[in-house]
């Protein structure tokens, strides 16, 4: 039996709304196989379907001064930040074609991130009742990846955002994922090495193949 395919589409740095529009276009035209869209967004705060505007901690005028936009998203989850140096991965997949139920799909994403981080000698895990992937650094739990998805007509949208070498101080303007006192970290900070986004993308492709038992092709 032939392996299912996942096509990688690397958009690079893209405005958030432009990236969402592109994702919706793929979602509306997708057939049997999945598309994974890789991109970066410049400074933007997004509020998911379970998010609370009170988790944005500063005024609209201050956010504008800092260069942020604030956008309500139809993804699951709460409030997060996207910025340069963070890898955003939108997974547009007809999940039943990959023998997955929604909860299985989430578990696959978590496993993908955890296995990817092992390549950088970073031990990570999930925490029951808290979304995303976490590490323990200086004996403190810190989030390294945010996960927020939506399933529409059996096809997934959105996915995850993994902090690579981005400015973590941008998260000071929010309550990350609605968890008071939550701290964030990045691959570069935890590995104590210079991590290039393009190098990580190659590892991501291999982990996509392993975790979803598929063949990855590049657009």
Using CA atoms, how far residue 64 sits from 3, 159, 176, in Å, is 47, 27, 19
User: Does the annotation count 177 as an active-site position?
Assistant: yes
**CB proximity list for 160: less than 8 A, separation 6 or greater:** 88, 89, 109, 113, 132, 145, 146, 147, 148
Contact at 8 Å (CB) between 51 and 78? yes
Give the C-alpha separation, 171 to 201, whole Å.
23
Contact between 195 and 166 under an 8 Å Cβ cutoff? The reply is no
Residue listed under structure tokens 């500063």 = 58
95, 177, 200, 208: the catalytic one is 177
With 0-12 / 13-18 / 19 or more C-beta atoms within 10 angstroms meaning exposed / middle / buried, residue 142 is buried
Among all residues, which ones are annotated catalytic?
Answer: 177
């Amino acid at each position: 039996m032939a392996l299912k395919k996942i096509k990688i589409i690397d958009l690079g740095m893209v405005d958030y709304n432009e990236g969402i529009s592109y994702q919706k276009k793929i979602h509306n035209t997708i057939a049997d196989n999945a598309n994974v869209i890789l991109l970066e967004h410049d400074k933007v705060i997004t509020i998911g379907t379970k998010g609370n505007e009170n988790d944005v901690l500063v005024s609209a005028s201050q956010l504008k001064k800092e260069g942020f936009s604030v956008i309500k998203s139809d993804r699951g989850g709460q409030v997060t930040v996207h910025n340069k140096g963070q890898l955003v991965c939108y997974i547009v997949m007809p999940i039943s074609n990959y023998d997955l139920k929604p909860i299985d799909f989430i578990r696959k994403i978590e496993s993908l991130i955890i296995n990817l981080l092992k390549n950088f000698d970073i031990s990570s895990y999930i925490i029951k009742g808290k979304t995303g992937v976490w590490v323990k650094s200086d004996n403190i739990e810190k989030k390294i990846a945010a996960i927020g998805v939506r399933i529409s007509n059996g096809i997934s949208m959105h996915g995850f955002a993994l902090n690579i070498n981005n400015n973590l101080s941008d998260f000071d303007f929010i309550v990350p994922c609605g968890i008071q006192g939550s701290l964030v970290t990045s691959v570069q900070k935890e590995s104590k090495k210079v991590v290039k986004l393009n190098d990580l993308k190659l590892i991501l492709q291999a982990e996509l193949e392993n975790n979803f038992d598929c063949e990855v092709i590049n657009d």
